[in-house]
Structure 1
Amino acid sequence: MELYATQLMGVKTYDVKGNYVGRVREFFIEPAEAPNRISHFLLSRGRFQPLVAKHDQVAAISDGKISLNVGEKALEIYQPNESWLAVHKDLLDQQIIDTRGRKVVRVNDLDLAEQRSNGNVELRLTQVDVGLPGAVRRLLQGVVPWNVVRKLQSRFPQRAIRWEFVNLIEPDPLRRVKLRITHEKLEDLHPADLADIMEELSATERQSIIASLDEETAGAVLGELDARLTTQIVEDLDPEKAADILEEMPRDAAADVLADLPK
């Protein structure tokens, strides 16, 4: 079944007895458990406390609604969890790195695939939509009927990146650890290509990536960057990390960086 993240937002959810539980306000991936499985659904209804439905509590997703295989009392009250990646908050409209295309792109929507598992339905994130079809869905979802949105989006070329080629950007080092976000894929890129990507990022994003690369790769990338950017990055690094990276750089380049650092 064709399903997108934008479609899932606001969908009504019913328990095993057919009672209305609430609407989907957010859904999450738990990278430490399954890197592309939607693990939890945040449900809210009026003034009631938000509830969470787990992936194994979903019986069916069809006709714009989610049916659960348990009663409302079996659902837990929502508690924020730093090890969960929020699809709407953390991914939609955020910048990511396309490691195959070697560029920074913005997420317009996410493609989801339905998968049967032990009698329940799981959703797996398969692709990131970075083209106009995703932007059209974002703009028109809930405003015009879905069949109209489908016709409009079909007029534009599809641009999508398979999830396994996506590298997330998370500036917070503690959350990066909790979410199991690594930059191993980036280390396979040529330093010049990675330097081009770095130049498209914000200062905080550049810092988070350099800090997580091995010293040899980081030194090679800094050697490809503009001297001003290199100095800014090294200046904000942990002194020990900065020293290790400078040792991996060519002597002349390292000397230039040291000369430009504030005394």
Structure 2
Amino acid sequence: MGVFNELSDSIVNFCEVVATPIYNHRGERIGRMSDLFADYEESYPTVLAILFRQNRKSYYLPWEVIKSFSCKRIVLTESASPLSGDSFPKRGRHRQRTNILSAPKDEEIILYPALGKVILDRQIVDTFGKKVVRVNDIQLLKVGQKLRVTHAAIGLRSMFRRLGMEGVIDSTIKLVKPDAEYLSKTVLIDWKHVHAISDPNAKSTIRLGLTNEEIEKIHPADLADILEDLDLHGREQIFSNLDPKIAAETLSEVELDLQASLIINEDPDDAAKIIENMGTDEAADLLHEMGEQRAEKIISEIEDDRFQEEVVELLEHEEHTAGGLMSTEVFKVTAEMKKSEILQLIQDESDEFDSIYDIFIVNNHHDEILEGTCSLKRLLVWPDDIHIGDIMKIDDIKSLTPEMPWKEVAATMSKYNMITAPVIDERRELLGSVSVDDLLPWLLHER
């Protein structure tokens, strides 16, 4: 006899088997199933055991001692002997990360948490839809004599099923709108795209997390949206495991106040590594949001001396002025450079700049007195051997002063259709540039 002889459906919903009575081989009821344990080292976890409570204590039964499994009853073999515990001890097999476990070590005993406890009614990250959702049910599939976890169910239909109201709701909708999409559609997330957020109160031996490569494949803008939707614990869990470069790119996409809350608990050394991967203007904005003492500790840990110096200079300006808005990462050359040399320089330094619209020409790389400007578009139409000094604009260069308020900056750039504007001091030394992107948060009333 097979274990599923009394279960005709190939798909099993978790909520339909919870509270199923469990009988021993003599037909005596010993309890009701409260949860399942599954092999989290597998992409589609195999059910390992069932959990039940008796006399206010938790016990589990390995799948091998189950003689018959259905939504009406679970029958055990004669050799079945309940084991005490609310977690399932399992020896790690692989050095890999999964959507539940973080790199289990060979031969390490891992205490697996119960499946429903990990997933149901908790925030999870759907890495396919790139969003945060709350799971109402779990879908399992009969595979031979085993059950495998295949999907997480979200949406109204799974919620009503969980509440035991699916039949009533379905009947009502059929009367009103027989062809309603609701009746034929259950919103499911493939298990390989489900990433659990661990309980902050979980035992130390239970290692849940989002520390696998799939999270880092999500675009920083989407990852930022996910962080904004998570609670504080979920945010910290994901953010603390990101590579510094990805963390920096993600920070650039979230609100400034959330940036500060994400990085506030990082060690100064770790925070500095993240900040070094940001633009100097973004780094200065973020440090502005922190207390002076905290900011100084982080700045002292920055290893790149030039970056550190530029950030300190930016912090000297009020954030609502051109000096506070500007980036010191400016593409600048000298007048004697040829087009071919400049294009090669752009290739060599492409990682240093998000985008290049205007080229600023300075007298030398020491004083950096602004002599002219030339758009990249204008440079491209000239022969390779042309010197940029011969085609640069030198008359009536529109520029900003570091003290200029942001509204005046916006008015100036709008009036003259500027994508970027140089910021110079009284000596015409090039201090940095302000881009339209730098102004957007202010224009959209985000500050």
Under a length normalisation based on structure 2, what TM-score does the superposition of the two structures give?
0.51
Residues 31 and 179 in structure 1, CA contact (< 8 A), matched pair in contact too: no
CA 1:220 to 1:179, structure 2 compared with 1: closer, same or farther past 3 Å?
same
> Does residue 61 of structure 1 match 2:69?
yes
Residues 137 and 159 in structure 2, CA contact (< 8 A), matched pair in contact too: yes
Task: Describe how 1:94-243 pairs up with structure 2 within 5 A.
Answer: 94-116=122-144, 121-140=145-164, 148=167, 155=183, 157-170=185-198, 172=200, 178-183=206-211, 184-243=213-272
How far 1:48 sits from its partner (Å)? 7.0
% identity of equivalent residues: 29
CA RMSD between the two structures: 2.7
Q: Which of these two proteins has the greater Rg computed from alpha carbons?
A: 2
User: Which residue in the other structure is 1:5 paired with?
Assistant: 14
2: CA distance, partners of 1:236 / 1:210: 11
SS of structure 2 residue aligned to 1:123: strand
SS of structure 1 residue aligned to 2:163: helix
- Report Cα offsets for 1:191-235 as digits up to 9, x if no partner: 011111111111221111100111111111011111111011111
Q: Which has the higher contact order (CA 8 A, sep 6+)?
A: 1
Q: Which structure is higher in helix share?
A: 1
1: CA distance, partners of 2:31 / 2:72: 13
The one-letter amino acid of 1:136's match is F
How far 1:262 sits from its partner (Å)? 1.1
- Unaligned 5+ segments in structure 1 are none
SS of structure 1 residue aligned to 2:240: helix
CA 1:204 to 1:181, structure 2 compared with 1: closer, same or farther past 3 Å?
closer
User: Which residue in the other structure is 2:27 paired with?
Assistant: 18
Under a length normalisation based on structure 1, what TM-score does the superposition of the two structures give?
0.84
SS of structure 1 residue aligned to 2:48: strand
2: CA distance, partners of 1:150 / 1:4: 18
The one-letter amino acid of 1:77's match is S
The one-letter amino acid of 2:157's match is P
- Unaligned 5+ segments in structure 2 are 1-9, 89-109, 174-181, 293-447
2: CA distance, partners of 1:247 / 1:171: 31
Residues 136 and 149 in structure 1, CA contact (< 8 A), matched pair in contact too: no
2: CA distance, partners of 1:166 / 1:37: 16
2: CA distance, partners of 1:14 / 1:124: 23
2: CA distance, partners of 1:25 / 1:165: 25
Residues 37 and 112 in structure 2, CA contact (< 8 A), matched pair in contact too: yes
SS of structure 2 residue aligned to 1:59: strand
CA 1:75 to 1:149, structure 2 compared with 1: closer, same or farther past 3 Å?
farther
1: CA distance, partners of 2:57 / 2:259: 48
How far 1:165 sits from its partner (Å)? 0.8
1: CA distance, partners of 2:75 / 2:52: 12
User: Which residue in the other structure is 2:84 paired with?
Assistant: 77
Residues 176 and 182 in structure 1, CA contact (< 8 A), matched pair in contact too: no
CA 1:210 to 1:29, structure 2 compared with 1: closer, same or farther past 3 Å?
same
How far 1:99 sits from its partner (Å)? 0.7
Residues 20 and 71 in structure 2, CA contact (< 8 A), matched pair in contact too: no
CA 1:63 to 1:11, structure 2 compared with 1: closer, same or farther past 3 Å?
closer
Residues 207 and 237 in structure 1, CA contact (< 8 A), matched pair in contact too: no
Provide the aligned length of Structure 1 versus Structure 2.
252
User: Which residue in the other structure is 2:47 paired with?
Assistant: 38
2: CA distance, partners of 1:242 / 1:257: 11
Residues 192 and 224 in structure 1, CA contact (< 8 A), matched pair in contact too: yes
2: CA distance, partners of 1:129 / 1:185: 21
1: CA distance, partners of 2:68 / 2:169: 22
How far 1:51 sits from its partner (Å)? 2.3
1: CA distance, partners of 2:241 / 2:183: 41
How far 1:19 sits from its partner (Å)? 3.2
SS of structure 1 residue aligned to 2:150: strand
1: CA distance, partners of 2:229 / 2:74: 39
